[in-house]
Structure 1
Amino acid sequence: MKNKRVATRNKTIFLSDDELKKFSKKLIKLNNKAELSDILNKTICQDLFTVLDYLPDAFVDLLIVDPPYNLNKSFNSIKFKEQSIFDYSEWIEKFIIKLKRTLKPTASIYFCGDWHTSISIPLALEKHFIIRNRITWEREKGRGAKSNWKNSSEDIWFCTVSNKYTFNVDAVKLMKKVIAPYRDENGKPKDWSDSLNGKYRLTHPSNIWTDISIPFWSMPENTIHPTQKPEKLIAKIILASSNENDIILDPFLGSGTTSVVAKKLGRNYVGIEKDKYFAALAEKRLYLADENKKIQGFEYGVFWERNTKPFPLE
């Protein structure tokens, strides 16, 4: 992939030819059954179906799956073709069956898709896991369509292996502006607080996420991957459904967002990515995460609405 000339203020992460060589050396390949120590906090650069039989058993606390959606799309060296709803579901099940043995009995699974892909996803997942919810998040980007409703949302299916699983609700509350600041009989704020920046309330997380910003050229996390997930979105999943030092697996790593956020939040990670450029890009982002652990939109241990200015919490 050739690098493009970018404006001075453009913070998009690229790889130079020298960086591609440097970070490619950190990638690993599996040819035999691996021990956990062989793959922990590593990026495996191979086709998923080649690797699946070599992964250890029951080592994953949290599985985040963001596969190519069911549409015609190019991912650098990889091309994906749209399939029928049932064929796509069968394709999902082929790798889910093998990933299942890597999961701990207490593991959680988050599976990403767009509106069309989401028709197929539960057909496969319900055979193997307990489907607990469908998160819909606002993906506000693009100028819209002339003959259809603009696609500005995506889904994330939340599943668990069993009825015993991690969910840290207090870690993923959202700080929202108060529209109706009610007060009690003594005139004191009722479930909200006042600040120099306005009136705010910490609210429980719902399955509708409207506080996510899609990475763009002026954001330090932005890459040239065509379907990059925001770090804030992945942070919500990781904080809710894992604990420090847990192990998170992403079998379609892309440019590395899951591994990067896991590292920033004190978790272990294993990423699998077929494309060498994107796998090396993930390693560069992991290197940069040593110096900058900030996650945009997650400040002072709290998630904030878009277009708000975070302030220290007392």
Structure 2
Amino acid sequence: MTQFEPKKRAARNRTITLTEDELQFYKKQLITLSEPASAETIMNKTIHQDLFEAIDRLPDQFVDLMFIDPPYNLTKSFNGKTFTKMSSDEYTEWLDSWFSKLVRVLKPDASVYICGDWRSSHSIFEVASRYLNVLNRITWEREKGRGSLSNWKNASEDIWFCTNSTNYKFYVDRVKMKRKVIAPYRNEEGKPKDWDEQSGGKFRLTHPSNLWTDLTVPFWSMPENTDHPTQKPEKLLAKIILASSDEQDVVFDPFSGAGTTSVTAKKLNRRYVGVELDEVYACLTEKRLALAEQDASIQGYSEGVFWERNSLQEQSKAKSTRPAADENMTLDLGLDLD
């Protein structure tokens, strides 16, 4: 089977894929940096390049928010390219080799979020604390994964929240979660206290914490899903982008993967720049950006609030309007593929 022969998928599988014609079309939208670039040159673009080649050609202080999802310290294949596990000290040195060069792209009031797992988090903290203010560690429940007979199942990942200075953006009211009230309390006048009643039940807006249990890792029936092995949910990026940036701010992802950061930034009216080494993932990013023109919904986020995972409101209010296609159908994106 060649890379672009359609895999046999379930009839309701909504995984975003590329045909050979689409790959050739979207390749034309990618850019590569051969010399120092201005912010205008790279804005709202996917840079198809090794980060180590692009890093010195990026402009200074153009980033308001940086989201970093580097390879974790595991041996893992990404579309035929393998990242090999290192010793903890070697991984720390590898992180520092590129992170130290990225600090200059940050605006003075920029925020940085860095992803890791239990193996890599101590290295991330060590490196990040050399250059930034480390304010918190978010732990989010990643419910996918196999169980283990000789260890606890690994069902969580970390995101380190850092800032470039003590002057930074954080908008708590944008990232509150709507939860069902189990034991509603009324005041002496019989009025609801800190909750309200709707047709679907009794709800309360709660302040966000550093423990996130409301995320669903993309899977085959979700319209944001791709074949990228470590794809983050759009809902996760929406929390970060809304909390730590304003509209038209620049969101930068140096390990863009299949483009979730850029796509979510676009849906939330931010500007974006991504760097991705793999051509297929970079082209998938461009296709997803085109799809976002038709459907800007984010599963689990609607009416300006985040909903609990698998709640009726999450499913009904954030349902995608994009048609469910069979595995051989190419969505009409208005493309001239000739």
TM range (shorter): over 0.9
**Relative to structure 2, which stretch is displaced further, 1-10 or 45-54?**
1-10
Q: Confirm whether residue 167 of structure 1 aligns to residue 176 of structure 2.
A: no
Would the aligned equivalents of 1:77 and 1:275 in 2 still touch at CA under 8 Å? no
Question: If the length of structure 1 is used for normalisation, what is the TM-score?
Answer: 0.98
Q: Distance in 2 between matches of 1:105 and 1:244?
A: 18
Q: Distance in 1 between matches of 2:7 and 2:50?
A: 27
Q: Confirm whether residue 297 of structure 1 aligns to residue 296 of structure 2.
A: no
2:213 to 210, 214, 232: 210
- Point out 4+ residue stretches in structure 1 off by more than 3 angstroms: none
Count of aligned pairs between the two proteins? 312
Per-residue CA deviations over 1:126-172 (Å, capped at 9, x if unaligned) read 00000000000000013411111111100000000000000011100
State, as a whole percentage, how many aligned pairs show the same letter. 60
Would the aligned equivalents of 1:131 and 1:158 in 2 still touch at CA under 8 Å? yes
Q: Distance in 1 between matches of 2:199 and 2:219?
A: 29
- Deviation, 1:5, is 2.1
Q: Which residue of 2 aligns with 1:78?
A: 81
**SS at the partner of 1:30?**
coil
Q: Which residue of 2 aligns with 1:240?
A: 243
Q: Confirm whether residue 111 of structure 1 aligns to residue 114 of structure 2.
A: yes
Q: Which residue of 2 aligns with 1:138?
A: 141
Q: Which residue of 2 aligns with 1:187?
A: 190
1:128 to 118, 122, 131: 131
Q: How does 1:51-62 map to 2 (within 5 A)?
A: 51-62=54-65
- Deviation, 1:309, is 2.2
> Aligned letter for 2:196?
S
Q: Distance in 2 between matches of 1:16 and 1:144?
A: 35
Question: If the length of structure 2 is used for normalisation, what is the TM-score?
Answer: 0.91
Q: Which residue of 2 aligns with 1:153?
A: 156
Q: Which residue of 2 aligns with 1:23?
A: 26
Q: Distance in 2 between matches of 1:71 and 1:251?
A: 19
**SS at the partner of 1:261?**
helix
Per-residue CA deviations over 1:100-144 (Å, capped at 9, x if unaligned) read 000000000000011111121101010000000000000001341
Q: Which residue of 1 aligns with 2:53?
A: 50
Q: Which residue of 2 aligns with 1:306?
A: 309
Q: Which residue of 2 aligns with 1:64?
A: 67
**SS at the partner of 2:55?**
helix
- Deviation, 1:244, is 0.2
Q: Distance in 1 between matches of 2:90 and 2:50?
A: 20
What residue ranges of structure 2 are gaps of 5+ in the alignment? 318-338
> Aligned letter for 1:146?
L
Q: Distance in 2 between matches of 1:242 and 1:172?
A: 12
- Deviation, 1:77, is 3.3
**SS at the partner of 1:215?**
coil
1:276 to 279, 284, 287: 279
